[in-house]
Chain A
Amino acid sequence: MKALGAAPHNGILDWLFNWFYNLFLNWNMSEASAAAWASGMNQLIAFLIIVIFIVVTVLFVVLFERRVLGFFQIRHGPNRVGPQGLFQTVADALKLLQKEDIMPLAAEPITYNIAPFAVFVPSILAFVVIPMGAAYVGGSYNVLIVRDLNIGILYLLAVSSVALIGFLMAGWGSNNKYALISAFRNAAQIISYEVPMILAILGVVLVAGSTSMVDIVHSQSVVWNIVPQFVGFLIYLICGLAETNRCPFDLPEAESELVAGFHTEYSGMKFALFFLAEYTNVFVISAIITTLFLGGWKGPMFLGAGGLWLTSIFWFLAKTYIMVTIFVWLRATLPRFRVDHLMGFAWKFLVPVAVVNILVIGLGVAFSHPLYMGSPGNINERLTADARVVALTQLSSSSIYNIMFDSEKVEGPVRIIEGNGTVDFGWINTAYGAMSDDMKTFFWAYNVFAFLFLILILFTVWKVIRGVKRAPKLEVMWSAVSGGEADAKA
């Protein structure tokens, strides 16, 4: 967000990044400096770079899933087209490009043809607010994000609700019973899991004090949200699986009942678009989990300030692909939910748990629990050259805030603390030492309560997973096959 100065050349990495940045990546500057500094051509090239990144990512995620799934099932997966099967998805796309496009006579042409757009475009739109890294450009700190919208996470929710309409359009437009039932199930499933999902996000917003994705990442400089908000992470993971129709929530695409789901009637390139949108959503959900709970691009910055851009992008991609791997792992492990279990799990279990989770986090923030107070870097970053900074430094109602700001007199250029995302025990110790005795008692009572809550949730989720996995006993199965107990006895 800062104006660019002369770029210092502090080593080859810095030089390389500045070269790229000057060419392409001037995304997140203020309009004025962007206009002064970059021509429209550069903006266009930057945009093309983003588009290519998205396309490559999507193509790679498809291959990644197939290879990892192959690994889980002790087979190779596609490994013939290109090195390690790297071009398999490209080959598939080229094949689908040449396939005949069949629209059934009974289908409703307008809705049928708009549906691929309504599903694919929102999945691309999500990339606008995903922060992928950070870099020092000309000595000032920049975040690699297309646009840091103030409503970042709400924007993502809005975008995903458009895709939902796309699914319904596909189902209805096909005039196919399987497709329509699938679209209905999909819609019911997504809206059921949206409520606990939003509640899980709210926990993160409470700690960050902002809906912007960059602020959320900065609020995790001291400790990643997954540590103090593990319940929220679990809820978001489950809801993310449900939102992307992944196993064990793939009822809308249950092959055994619904053929292929809402895209049963789609062939050729239109099918490919649905397919790509699905995998884009997997990547996007993983990236959102990374941003909300895993500290975004933050991690040990082993290349120093000059290589910040490389390490930050590395950490972002590594965390995201770990999440994608977990998604694939769950697919390889778990069977499908039953539809009534699915709905019951969302409404009867996840919603109350998410509400209690919000209250627990709210209480922790209200009593200045060190893990929930964000980081000093966060607040400095957000309040740059803001009247609020002066006001906040004078604040006396919270000891935590004083600790943050006493050490950081906010005059002159603001120092950004690029926390490496590991738990900063020193800072927590200082905060703990500043507490009164009553606060310390409350602190420990709260910790014990939150821990018990976590154990309870983990136990219940474990029970649910065991319940899904448990197969009927062999005798019962045999009697069902052979026609009841009478046969089994005889």
Chain B
Amino acid sequence: MRRSPPILIALSLAASSPALGATLDLAARPAAVASVTLAAAAQIPATAAPIAAPPAARPPHAKGDPWERFNRGMFHFFQKIDRAVFRPLALGLGKVIPKPIRDGLRNFLSNVNEPIVFMNDLLQLKPKRALRTLGRFTLNTAVGLGGLADVAKLAKLPHRNNSLGNTLARYGVGPGPYIFLPFLGPSTLRDFGGEQADQIVLPLAVGKPFNRLDWQLATAGFSGLNQRIETDEDFRTLLSGAADPYATLRSVYLQSRLAEIAEIKGKSSAAPATFDDPLDDPALQESAAPADPAAPAEPPADPPADPQVDPQAEALPPSP
């Protein structure tokens, strides 16, 4: 939740309702995802672990989330701060500062970040996309009062986020471990690192005011609080009914990034990446492949989903 424009993370309504408009702009940063590499990377340990490792040696975490214990700690810590301070502060601020002013500031900070988007468009060898980003930046800076008004959106040049995390994914870098940090939200090692690098560019290339600590604190503070205001309802919709909010957020975040990476890689966006999961019926699998933990049925975007890989699930005593 830094100055970088939020990516739109679409969050499904937790359980069944494809409810109205639950997009969650939780988006901490431009980068974030589980690339298709995750599927490949994740399947290898999934195959090997249960066979090679003795049961006691299995790490107590879900696939793709080796730092789960730490992450869960951070998540619960953040939930406490959020309930006690952060959310009340954000919502209070939302009442004091009118939405048009907040939107203007958000647009301005998003516009400031467009050169980084442009840079990544180029790094990904996407000249058309880069031109659109450049056009957007020029238009908003010149006509949109330095970016306060998003006039480019009206000219069919909407904001399309891009980041070094996407660029790395484009060239085959896998997501690495999942990370959840308070205020920064969900990410992966690749995307977190990518974001840090993205954020150094302006301070190094332009200098003032981007290299000033007060600028960085003020913009990060504003972006974080504003995002909290705008995502409050979606957050509640997603997580209020969740049995395991941490795992739900992780799953939705990783699936959403998987879709973004698929788009960056030029895969047909017609079908979601998770459509590739064959969703084999467990009742039929019994006869076909009794206990193959590496069954290709594994949802690539969803590390915690396969109970066979979850040590706790494996330790489950048969129900009486």
Query: Do A and B assemble together?
Result: no
Binding site for B on A (CB under 8 A): none
Binding site for A on B (CB under 8 A): none
